[in-house]
Chain A
Amino acid sequence: MLVSLADGPKHGYAIMDDIARLADTRIGPGTLYGALARLERLGLIESLPAEDRRRPYRLSAQGADLLQHELSGLQRIASAGLVRLAAQP
């Protein structure tokens, strides 16, 4: 969800569609809003003024820092794994 918001604000429906494209899995609206509530409470995302009945969300500075940290860690692990696989006889 944080990755989905990394390129700019999105409302709930757009986040679900983006996750379906990114991760090839479709999350339900109950799951989505449970996660949005948690992320907002943790200060990792922020809501913007609603447009019609849809409220866009964006990454907070704290959320962006956390995402950067987590993705860098994943990148290190993935790189190491690929190097080791390639080095196999």
Chain B
Amino acid sequence: MNAAWLVRLYPREWRDRYGDELADILSERASSPGLILDVLVGAFDAHLHPHLEPVPATQRGAFLLPRILRCRPTRGMLVGLLVYAGLVAGLGTLRRIYGFNFGLDFFYFAVNGALPLLWLSGSEPAPGLRSQTVRLMVVLPGAVLAGLVGTLLTNGPP
């Protein structure tokens, strides 16, 4: 079976640039679970790191703000913040109605703490294990701190 259809799983901009070449290789190779998994992981990686897509020549001279808004991580972050604001408003109302609830507080902590981790997953890893380790050492305590501060700010002390 020809696995070239898997190219459709990649982001559109990525396909515009590399899709023909990848499809050409896939069409010449026998499909196997290993090959399909490799391409699936590649597509997932391309979605996680959309800034790896080549910048089209027409966008290179564009103003900074439209370029930032076109960037998929920025759009994802804006949508995430809207969803987060909805959760805070909704769950805050529930808390005022029903009083202290450990489950809700834990939920606030997890949601607030997840934001730095989302940033980490959406950003391009720096080359080298040492840089990665340093980033994790900064981000993980940052996630815990963001969880605590966010919970206190949005929910008040328990």
Contacts and interface: CB of A to CB of B under 8 A. Distances in A.
Interface of A: 11-13, 16, 28-34, 36-38, 40-41, 50, 52-55
Interface of B: 14, 17-18, 20-26, 28-29, 34-35, 38-43, 45-46, 51-54
Contact of B54 (A13, A40, A54): A40
A67 B67 CA distance: 32
A13 B28 contact: yes
Given A30-B39, A34-B42, A12 B25 contact: yes
A37 B22 contact: no
Contacts of A31: 38, 41-42
Contacts of B38: 28-31
24 contacts: A11-B21, A12-B21, A13-B25, A28-B38, A28-B39, A29-B29, A29-B42, A30-B39, A30-B40, A30-B41, A30-B42, A31-B38, A32-B25, A33-B18, A33-B42, A34-B42, A37-B14, A37-B18, A37-B52, A38-B52, A40-B54, A41-B51, A52-B24, A55-B21
